[in-house]
Structure 1
């Protein structure tokens, strides 16, 4: 067994430093800011109170209440358009740029990037994106690069509405305080229709945009119970160590970003813009355990909680924060998502296997027959190419008849072999009254075969190829066995067992727990390529995490084991559907996508600058007038509507008929912990401490009791 070469890790859990206080204050999570009404109910009933806790009205168990903000017509816009100038800057660079813009008659501002010590410089205030075009053109003409029309929150005063109302099931309307309400259940949960159930305190109050803000206030550890399964659920990543790494990262991110959205009346939202939070309905038992077993642990650097960024899938390698948000963070450095030496487990065949490298004749029907009815020695190209005879097939037919419990019909010694196999299992009883001579004329040659209706049935079901009826050469054994296997499938449908290999030689089926896999001593071992082709092998070093398929014997251990070569390769992050992806655009569709971000007359070409790991750092779009539009970091994937910046592309066709085909890998910004990679590391035996140390180099674990 090859063991995972994980660097030695000395884990030191230190006491709380001043940056981390022992008693973490509750978190205020924004659940929504856009609706103007909510239908609520309280577990066990309860009371609707003002935000100071003074009771206003009672709510019975299972009673629903509509809370409605009457904003007296249209509400104010929630956002405005501004022009971002350049990539993220340090404070000094931002000051220099702002000075230059002021000299040009602009009124710039700088906006801090929450997850880095860098700033965005923006200018202008526009109600519509098109209103920004004259200023955009002016700045382009003056040589400014990487200009971006961005939407920004628009500061405003609360829109004066008629009132906040509660409407009961009996359509009684009660006025509520304009400051909003606190929903206090007798039990633990507050339910928001269409949203979910929530522990802790839930408040609803009007906001500056003439809508309703919903805030859930609760303690940090309870919050994590609703975050970890939404960010890295136990169904998709059923490994405790990986989930514990996610719990520490989520806990650290929450503390480091407390107050990030204070202007909106809460600390963080419940979406991917911060951390996805699902409340009580998101909780799972395994993620609850991960939160509990890491309670009070934070990832720190220099005694302070780190910006514990993470993404779904890093595309084989993470990147440096300087290439995404700008600035520096020693623990947000580029690291590989490949093991130095994968953990593999040896498996050997107990059967004599062919030495042929190319085995295009091998199929699941033949493998299944080899598990029960034919000798493994028949599975060679030379043997299968020989003509089949009724004598060859008599014993396999008898064994299958016995297995299926059908009336024993000996295989006819004369006549068409395909028809003889079908009659041996009684299929001739199905055709009278169903198959028609006209259909036989449609499918079959005029002169063949003798039982045209049965042949039509076999052709219709895909058991015998239509072309086989006109073949003049003797039926090869391979083709005869394929037909026998398909007849078996008709009477006893089969799908192979399937699961991922674990380090202790157990397997995990999809959405299932670990289970042992018993293997026969005379095992047939095969590999399945990404294209579905099969090949017998004498032995294999199977990487932990690879998908296995198996064919069990009759009530016993598996007789056939097939290792699937993962199309996404050997990376730790290969367990995500976005490990590799392909996106195709027509010229018009790509132009529409680009125009959501920048205004261009058309696209002449794209040019990309890559880092050493194949991630696009800078992209230049040259428009049809020859003007370059430069985009950096996270804006690149947003501009092209792609999942990640790890991509290359081909173009096919010319002009308006041109198509853009992007091939890429990964999903996210590429910074910090790769969630899928954490799962891959855990499968190979890494602890949650080792996972965190790998993706956040130099971090320490610090406990706050």
Structure 2
């Protein structure tokens, strides 16, 4: 008993010294923490909530709760759930400086980090919703008086920030003793001067915050901005919750690209340790640092990327780099100093988003495609799945599909449908196979019987609708009611082409029309498709990525080949592929029978597969003016925009905005914020109304993001072309080294 009491007092003393210290805890790799719970070095502290009002914390298998302050006490030995509530509020007033605002959180935090190095204090990024849109504001300082705020405005003015506003804010801070914990349905008071620690009962367990799971432990700490909930965990475990949210393995399923992202994310985290030390943690879980989703966000492929690069970081002259990355660079990145104010950064230089070892593959087919048209419209691409699956077939005559379908062919096609889906046997329809041709009335009767659509035709149509759909058919009154309803249903549902409403339904159905109608009838045809990414060719086999699996598929000499473009899908006999193209295919007996390639823009740049490689935005002058006035009210009514200077990638780095009250020159990243565009790589066209007044601006651009550092989609393109993660990082960050630091 004395040994247990002595151990308790030792832990109390140790924990008090351990946690009250202002710096993050340093855990040894083998040091036990709280009855065997181990967190290996290096350790990071991630702020999950700041200014908490309410939260629910639970564990996968129970947790211990400790209160560590001047005294140490165990609040719960094996709690299942804790609800934290702040009951009362006290209002206070403060003044802060609004430096600028943007719709892009990541770029806001980059500017905030830069300014924080120049100012005696930290620049914060806060979210605000205005007219249904999110704005991220850069705020600085907390001042008791306007006079104090004005003094800091002068400092910002000397740094070149002249459009700064003083904002008066009402803030709420918890009063002493009014924070309660509901531990397994039992209320306990919480001394906010102490810290709470939530520890999983077992090392392999995890904690949950509002249904999201996390590795490591939680700390609840009172800060100058209210209660903060902090996730304390190993750096490598933290990265497993970062990489899949910064570069989705579902979309970017190339391991080497994810490894490059992992090294960049690790470098960023280590370089920014202690960035929020005044609040008791290192990084946030949002774009103001890196997006972090905990254990719930983890993915096997990105976990592998983190594990295979464990401890690796990017350095320049023995210093961690500022590992900036952008989603899509539009073919070329930009010098950092042209986007962010400051001195040139030797490793963040403009580079072309191309790969000198870019492979090319030619896919060809000897397939002779039939002409399949209805009313002059080519429907070959639409019925390709039927041909590829062998449900319909064709002979050599050029006019084969223009000829009437026989009853034997209808029965044969439906029989092959039954091989894919167990449906009614078409042989049960008397006399079908003996018919030399089939009209639309007979086909409607056959289809309703075959697919079992009697309820649809009998229950889902009003008598008035039947009359309306068939009113242009002179002989429809002579038909049986079941056949009239069958025709009306097929016309109304779109299974029968719409032109048949005014056509002769007693004429023979052509083979092309039968193919179209079957395609419309078989909603499950889409289930035959596999989807993935084309990686390349190995001999006569196609290498594809399906989900997380690499597969080799046999490509026959007579496979059906489709090219999918913005304007439609078209048959092809030859396609040039670079790798990374999105594809879908139908396979049978180990062979690809149909391959559809979603073609990217006509370019070979590495980020070609991004939807933002090229974009166009047309915006009314008044709407653009509203956005500009948020940051530059001195402009007045917008009259024109003029590009004054471009960077090495042709990004706009200096823009003149002219209005009836004044002119401003906007530089770097603020150009994007002022115009609310995806990137600053754009050209400008203007439209005028009939009176000659400027009505619209049309921006034709490329890229998404700030355009500096690693291009994420480009990294994916390099990985698909065979580059390793070190080659990728060395391409986008110049003259760097990749070193292992732990």
Question: 2:425 aligned with 1:402, yes or no?
Answer: no
* Aligned mates of 2:210, 2:583 — CA distance in 1: 40
Contact 1:226/1:280, CA 8 A, preserved across alignment: yes
- Change over 3 Å in CA distance of 1:563–1:122 after alignment to 2: closer
1:522 aligns with 2:558: yes
Q: Give the corresponding residue for 1:80.
A: 97
Alignment of 1:123-202 (within 5 A): 147-149=162-164, 161-163=175-177, 165-169=179-183, 170=185, 172-188=187-203, 191=207, 193-194=209-210, 196-202=212-218
Deviates more, 1:283-292 or 1:70-79: 70-79
Do the aligned partners of 2:331 and 2:352 also contact (CA within 8 Å) in 1? yes
The question of whether the paired residues in 2 share the 8 Å contact of 1:443 and 1:466 is answered with no
C-alpha spacing 1:252/1:145, structure 2 compared with 1 (3 Å): closer
Distance across 2 between alignment mates of 1:63 and 1:121: 36
Q: Would the aligned equivalents of 2:315 and 2:736 in 1 still touch at CA under 8 Å?
A: yes
TM-aligned CA deviation for residue 690 of structure 1: 1.0
Aligned to 2:654: 618
Aligned-residue offset at 1:660: 4.7
Superposition pairs of residues 385-464 of structure 1, within 5 angstroms: 387-390=402-405, 393=406, 396-405=409-418, 406-408=425-427, 409-410=432-433, 412-413=435-436, 416=439, 418-425=440-447, 433=458, 436=463, 439-447=466-474, 453=484, 454-464=486-496
Per the TM alignment, residue 283 of structure 1 is displaced from its structure 2 partner at its CA by: 2.4
Aligned to 1:12: none
Answering whether residue 595 of structure 2 is matched by residue 561 of structure 1, we say yes
2:638 corresponds to: 603
What is the aligned partner in structure 2 of residue 500 from structure 1? 533
Alignment match of 1:481 (pick from 509, 512, 522):
512
- 2:346 aligned residue (311, 317, 330): 330
Superposition RMSD on alpha carbons, in Å? Answer: 4.4
SS of match in other structure, 1:174:
strand
Match of 2:329 among 314, 327, 335: 314
- CA offset digits 1:359-415 (Å, max 9, x no partner): 96143343234332555665x9x637x84234xx56643431321343241374367
Partner of residue 18, structure 1: none
State whether residues 525 and 562 of structure 1, in contact with CA within 8 Å, keep that contact through their aligned partners in structure 2: yes
Unaligned runs of 5+ in 1: 1-21, 88-93, 95-107, 115-119
Distance 1:32 1:604 in 2: 44
1:593 aligns with 2:627: yes
Kindly indicate whether residue 717 of structure 2 is the aligned counterpart of residue 680 of structure 1.
Answer: yes
Q: How far does the alpha carbon of each residue in 1:606-651 deviate from its partner, in whole angstroms, 9 at most, with x for none?
A: 22343353422222221233x1122212222222333322334555
| 1:550 shift after superposition | 2.5
CA contact (8 A) 2:614 2:700 kept: yes
**Counterpart position of 2:282:** 267
Match of 1:229 in 2: 244
Match of 1:628 in 2: 663
Structure-2 separation of matches of 1:333 and 1:486:
57
Which residue of structure 2 aligns with residue 55 of structure 1? Answer: 73
Q: How many residues align?
A: 634
Asked if 1:637 is matched to 2:672, the reply is yes
Q: 1:321 to 1:167 in 2, by over 3 A?
A: same
1:542 is matched with which residue? 577
Contact 2:45 2:230 in 1 (8 A): yes
* 1:217 shift after superposition: 3.1
1:527-552 per-position Cα deviation (integer Å, ceiling 9, x unaligned): 22222231231x32322111223234
Deviations 1:244-299 (A, max 9, x none): 11111111112222233334333222211221222222222222221121112221
8 Å contact from structure 2 (residues 95, 166) kept in 1:
no
SS at match of 1:57: strand
Match of 1:66 in 2: 84
Aligned position for 2:9: none
Change (3 A) 1:83 1:548: closer
Distance in 2, matches of 1:110 and 1:648, equals: 39
How big is the shift at 1:693? 1.0
Contact 1:351 / 1:376 at 8 angstroms: preserved in 2? no
Q: Structure 2 CA distance, aligned partners of 1:641 and 1:515?
A: 42
What is the CA–CA distance in structure 1 between the aligned matches of 2:598 and 2:487, rounded to whole Å? Answer: 35
CA distance in 2, matches of 1:486, 1:461: 11
**In 1: Cα distance, 2:391 partner to 2:275 partner:** 67
TM-score using structure 2 length:
0.73
More strand per residue:
2
* In structure 1, distance between residues paired with 2:81 and 2:141: 50
Closer, same or farther: CA 66–125 of 1 in aligned 2, 3 Å: closer
For 1:60 and 1:483, how far apart are their aligned partners in 2? 68
> Hey, what does 2:385 align to over in structure 1?
368
Once the two structures are TM-superposed, the CA of residue 46 in structure 1 deviates from its matched residue by: 0.5
SS at match of 1:541: strand
Paired residue for 1:287? 302
> Could you list the per-position Cα deviations for residues 571-609 of structure 1 after superposition, in whole angstroms to 9, with x for gaps in the alignment?
322444544445554555434333332224332222234
CA contact (8 A) 2:334 2:349 kept: yes
Alignment map for 1:29-44 (pairs within 5 Å): 29-42=46-59, 43-44=61-62
Distance 2:323 2:168 in 1: 25
| 1:187 alignment partner, SS class | coil
- In 2: Cα distance, 1:243 partner to 1:645 partner: 26
Distance 2:190 2:207 in 1: 21
Q: Secondary structure at the match of 1:522?
A: coil
Q: Which protein has greater RCO, CA pairs closer than 8 Å, 6+ apart? A: 1
Deviation per CA, 1:102-123, whole angstroms, max 9, x where unpaired?
A: xxxxxx9688999xxxxx9999
Gapped regions of structure 2 (runs ≥ 5) = 1-28, 30-39, 102-107, 109-114, 125-137, 419-424
Cα distance, 1:241 vs structure 2: 1.1
CA separation in 2, counterparts of 1:530 and 1:285? 33
Aligned with 2:718: secondary structure?
Answer: helix
Are the aligned partners of 2:469 and 2:491 in contact in 1 as well (CA < 8 Å)?
no
Is the partner of 2:512 in helix, strand or coil?
helix
Deviation at 1:323, TM superposition (A): 0.9
Encode CA deviations 1:306-325: one digit per residue, 9 max, x unaligned: 11111222223211101111
